[in-house]
Chain A
């Protein structure tokens, strides 16, 4: 372990009766980075993050924070934003902040927190009457009341509209810029790509890929994707290009975009609706975890 490691997870196992939810995970989270934990539903992400948060006891394996096992004071030093959290009814935003703040020995100034999470406009509103984005910002502020060194965000933008999601990403970037360590789980690959310095993809309780997002893509893919309307598929019959139909579009993977475009032209395919895109984390995720129905 080196001194820059915030969280060190080794051979983590969690069994629930007959189910092996987590089956031997090991990874390090470096101080000051954003670490992404990705995986399909039921892969063991939530179980893993809850063990890292100190809320679930592992069946076996170890979790160390700054080289020490998670002790009773760990809860005072980390911040957690759950996937979905109910708050007490009839309390305003500022009352919720004051309440959670009072539970910690070390507290961040509420004024700072309000400015950071942009809560000024609805401080006196009943927390049940907030929009999705406002609510997530309040929950983030609650996770930050103790000025934590390590912050867990469990699917923080699920259900938010695109604008609210982008606002939330800006907040996360600010927190990271202030030197905090973040562990993030998400279903949105774009989110992981934009925010995370390092990711692991888990499936069936095990890590199936890990690394820096851009490097992972480079390792797994040396090609790009050309998308043309599916109706054009018959024209490709005689050409060297083969594609995979995906709904109304046909995806053609190719390492040589120029040659592929030339081949499309030669086959008489209309380029009016052609889209060329690099491989994304979503492609990698689907390739690694399969496309079976598993929600």
Chain B
């Protein structure tokens, strides 16, 4: 046991030295996410976001079209169905959606966030649509800037790339150049080697992201309602599960090109369906189900809950459980499939 720990520590240390001394790559890991968050904040702070998103609560048999209300015939607006006002209202408050209309309320009413310019515009469209009058209600939640919502997404996405490619490319390169074969001739076991790579990567990603998060919070005044410790725990588990995912991809490959292709095939859908840039509310059900299979979805949901709503870990059982489950499955699979040498 002691010998095993010594081997893991030695391998993790050697890998960390390699990473830290690769200055260009380290600089990129630090600077890129900050630039990305600032860039997005700038791009989306101005006018010109084309799509409006409106949640509608209506009787199950009613269709979401002009027969319900002429406003629903507006093609520039995406209407989608929500079941309960309790679930939908916070989304209006946090600018995840622009408006909520409840046709089951008496009288039928809409809820708007007064800090939302898009909401104000939609109110005028309702007034001008010529349908039955809807009661105006104003929500009182604190407004959340887009940057507060998107920053966790961008940091999470960046972390996903760092996890997947960071571990994937390195192990494939080691296999291709014969370094793994050399290690195989020592008492180092596959599980020890993989754990060392994972821990080294995890530690570095956490350090880098703490710095990046701190910089973003200073520069952009990011909102942080919950506990830093909770956030750290969530981020650690999320990064662990995504690194373990990278281990599965790199378990046998000896070509960086092929590994890069496969990692892109995995990371691109994660970027799209996990809610990095836009909320998945109102997206087709199939996409939402698909998103549930990616660790990034759960990482972002949990991180946003903590940062935007101050949710505690006790209420985050589902995303935490899913990330833990995925970590265990990916790590087991990665170790079982692992090969030291190319065939």
Contact = CB atoms under 8 A, between A and B. Distances in A.
Interface of A: 53, 55, 75-76, 80, 82, 84-91, 95, 98-100, 102-105
A82 B181 CA distance: 9
B178 A84 contact: yes
Interface residues of B, number: 24
A85 B182 contact: yes
B145 interface: no
B187 A102 contact: no
Contacts of A53: 185
Contacts of B177: 86
A102 B6 contact: yes
5 contacts: A82-B178, A99-B11, A102-B9, A103-B10, A103-B188
B179 A87 contact: yes
Interface in B2-59: 3, 6-7, 9-11, 13-15, 17-18, 21-22
B184 interface: yes
Closest 6 pairs (CB-CB, A-B): A102-B10, A86-B177, A90-B21, A103-B186, A99-B14, A86-B179
A88 B177 CA distance: 10
Contacts of A91: 14, 17-18
Most buried by B among A53, A86, A91, A95: A86
A273 to B, nearest CB: 46
A89 B187 contact: no
Given A76-B187, A91-B17, 18 more contacts: A55-B181, A75-B186, A82-B178, A82-B182, A85-B182, A86-B182, A88-B179, A91-B14, A91-B18, A95-B14, A99-B10, A99-B14, A102-B6, A103-B186, A103-B187, A103-B188, A104-B187, A105-B187
Contact of B186 (A89, A90, A104): A104
Contact of A100 (B3, B13, B18, B186): B186
Contacts of B13: 99
Contacts of B3: 105
A89 B13 CA distance: 13
B10 to A, nearest CB: 4
A89 B18 contact: yes
Most buried by B among A84, A85, A95, A98: A85
B17 A90 contact: yes
B14 A55 contact: no
A86 B6 CA distance: 22
Most buried by A among B7, B14, B179, B184: B14
